[in-house]
Amino acid sequence: MGATRTERAPREGARGAGVPGRADSRLPAPLWLLVLAAICAAAAAIPLAYLVVRTTEAGLGELLDTLVRPRVLQLTLNSVLLAAAVTASCLILGTLSALLLTRLRLPAARGLLIIAALPLAVPSYLAAYGWLVWFPTLNGFGAAWFVMTAVCTPYVTLPVAAALRGASGDLEMVARTLGRGPIRAFWAATWPQIRPAAIAGALLVTLYSLSDFGLVSMLRFQTLTWGINAAYGASFDRNQAALLALVLVVLALVVVAGERRSRGQVDRAGGRSTTPARRAGRWL
């Protein structure tokens, strides 16, 4: 029994060693940092507390009546569809662009990375305005999806590019030597290493899509944010706007909870990337 416990302890220590986020690698936070974090959390919770108070004042009956209205259901569906479509397209385009920037020997690669990040400096409503100048008839779901994707793709490109630079390429090389093609080798060996970064970027894209108001209003696609603004400005009763805002908060919390659960299922593999960059024009 004593020998078994002695053998088990080094194994458990080896499992936890070098793994980011494990308890044995964390340092105790200073008191001032905890106080500052508590103040920031309290400030961020003030709007949520206001929504809860207004919803409580409205009563459960009005809340249920609002939730089952066809208009509210349509706004919620529009928000979910737009966020899902934008997240999927940004995840694909962001990962592909990160691969091109890190795996190919492109001229002025650093400059291209800066160019790829430029959409982050442009507010979404300005991007929508720019497209409307050239295409005045641009509107609806397709237009909102296209422009939002162009604005949000860097949220995936930048963290995935950083993860690719830090990922170990040895597993992918082994997979290639075993006869797997470049796509299958990448999916089996490299994707598990960059998946946390891709999921984190996708989370930002989803939350941005759900919370955006300027772009969807300019492109005339009605989502929950549009409904909140309309309810707040068209009535002296703010309960309707508060109820719609609470629906939006619930959607955001569901997205964050899903991201945390997915991130907890990922075993990160560290190490500097050993995958050599290839010339542009050749496959990965």
Mean pLDDT of 92-113: 84
Alpha carbons 199 and 176: distance in angstroms, whole number: 26
Highest mean pLDDT of the ranges 77-86, 232-241, 274-283: 77-86
Considering the domain boundaries, does residue 13 fall inside one? no
| Residue-wise pLDDT tens digits, 234-247 | 766 677 888 888 88
Helix crossing, 191-211 with 239-264: angle to 10°? 180
* DSSP H or E segment with residue 239: helix 239-264
Considering the domain boundaries, does residue 34 fall inside one? no
Structural contact between residues 214 and 223, judged by C-beta atoms closer than 8 angstroms: no
104 bridge partner residues: 278
Q: How many CB atoms lie within 10 A of CB 153?
A: 27
| Residue-wise pLDDT tens digits, 165-218 | 887 766 777 777 777 777 777 777 788 888 999 999 999 999 999 999 999 999
How far apart, in Å, do the first and last CA atoms of the chain sit?
Answer: 52
Structural contact between residues 144 and 82, judged by C-beta atoms closer than 8 angstroms: yes
Alpha carbons 146 and 148: distance in angstroms, whole number: 6
| pLDDT for res 235 | 65
Instruction: For residue 55, give the CATH number of its domain.
Output: 1.10.3720.10
Considering the domain boundaries, does residue 98 fall inside one? yes
Considering the domain boundaries, does residue 282 fall inside one? no
Considering the domain boundaries, does residue 25 fall inside one? no
| pLDDT for res 143 | 94
Considering the domain boundaries, does residue 265 fall inside one? yes
What is the rounded average pLDDT for all residues in the chain? 80
Alpha carbons 30 and 32: distance in angstroms, whole number: 6
> 226 is written with which tokens?
């549009």
Cα torsion angle, 122, 250, 257, 90, sign: negative
What is the secondary structure of 138-174 as a DSSP string?
Answer: --HHHHHHHHHHHHHTHHHHHHHHHHHHHS--HHHHH
Alpha carbons 259 and 269: distance in angstroms, whole number: 19
Q: How many CB atoms lie within 10 A of CB 124?
A: 23
Alpha carbons 67 and 29: distance in angstroms, whole number: 42
Considering the domain boundaries, does residue 107 fall inside one? yes
Alpha carbons 194 and 273: distance in angstroms, whole number: 11
Q: What share of the chain is helix, strand, coil (3-state, %, to 5)?
A: 75, 0, 20
| Residue-wise pLDDT tens digits, 215-262 | 999 999 999 999 888 888 776 667 788 888 888 998 998 998 888 877
Considering the domain boundaries, does residue 118 fall inside one? yes
- Buried b / exposed e over 9-43, threshold 16 CB at 10 Å, is eeeeeeeeeeeeeeeeeeeeeeeeeeeeeeeeeee
Domain that holds residue 144: 46-272
The number of folded domains in the chain is 1
Alpha carbons 72 and 231: distance in angstroms, whole number: 11
